[in-house]
Amino acid sequence: ETVLGGQKDRARDGKLVTNWVINELFGRLKKEAKDISASPVSAAQLAAICTVAVLVFILWRSEIAFAHKAAALLTGALIATPYVLDYDLMVMAPAIGFVAAHGLKHGFIDYEKSVLAFCWIAPLISRTLAEIIFVPVGLIVIILLFGIVLRRGAIDRAALPPSLSRV
């Protein structure tokens, strides 16, 4: 029953994302009399948005620490935006603060301090570095922070008693 309950929750999470795509995206395209090929959202971006939305929703409904839920929401919002510029990376500061505060209280996992330090310094160097190496450093940093939050959430969730791990 626990396994089926988890599957029902995941199916509901997928339905929410599907409803968003159908209602918002397709509704806008229909209103503007355009087909899917004229969508302002690329297939890769839509896949990233849907994946991040489902992951944040699953984390938010789980019993992990609020700090990780908040950090996932903040970094997920940045991943979902079409453009990530260096000044947008300031949204990572509260996410870094949530993860760092939790780490100071409960201990850090491998490489967490290094990732947090890199994410903290990234807004200062991302534009210059991107101009030199032609790689969107800001997006990579955000995905890296989101990955650390997901990893920490998975570790915390695995440590919960079975009665508390709903998702």
Nearest to 39 by CA among 20, 21, 56: 21
In the 8-state DSSP scheme, what is residue 108? P
Distance CA 102, CA 97 (A): 8
Q: Note if the pTM is more than 0.85.
A: no
Per-residue pLDDT tens listing for the chain (167 residues)? 333 344 445 445 556 666 766 677 677 777 888 777 777 777 788 888 888 988 998 888 888 899 999 999 999 998 888 777 778 888 899 999 999 999 999 999 888 999 999 999 988 888 888 889 988 888 889 999 999 999 998 888 888 776 654 54
Distance CA 47, CA 133 (A): 26
In the 8-state DSSP scheme, what is residue 24? I
